[in-house]
Amino acid sequence: GALQLRAAKAPIAAFEIAVFPAGERQAEAPTTAAANDYRLFVLKAGRYDIRRGPGDANAPQDTHWLLDVEVPADRTRLKQIDAS
């Protein structure tokens, strides 16, 4: 499967994005493709947690999580990251 992430209000390239197997924070999944308006992760089917942090290291309090996102085996899951 695959997970495509897009930002709602700003280029997603402005944010630090990380994807982890659900409940884990050790093994970050690598980004397969990145552009100004999306990130694509090719993943095994399963559930994942997504961390969206600011591109600015001076604002760690702006880190947000999307938890337990299902990635199906046979298609791409599109999730919109709230960029506000």
Q: What is the pLDDT of residues 9-58, one digit of tens each?
A: 878 888 889 999 999 988 888 888 988 889 999 999 999 999 988 766 55
Higher local confidence (pLDDT), 73 or 56: 73
pTM: predicted TM-score of the whole model, two decimal places: 0.84
Please report the pLDDT score of residue 3 as a whole number. 96
Higher local confidence (pLDDT), 12 or 72: 72
Q: What is the DSSP string of 19-79?
A: EEETT--SSPBPPSEE-SS-EEEE--SEEEEEEEEESSTT-GGG-EEEEEEEE-SSSEEEE
CA angle 53, 58, 63 (to 5 degrees): 20
Whether residue 60 is predicted with pLDDT greater than 80 in this model: the reply is: no
Please report the pLDDT score of residue 41 as a whole number. 94
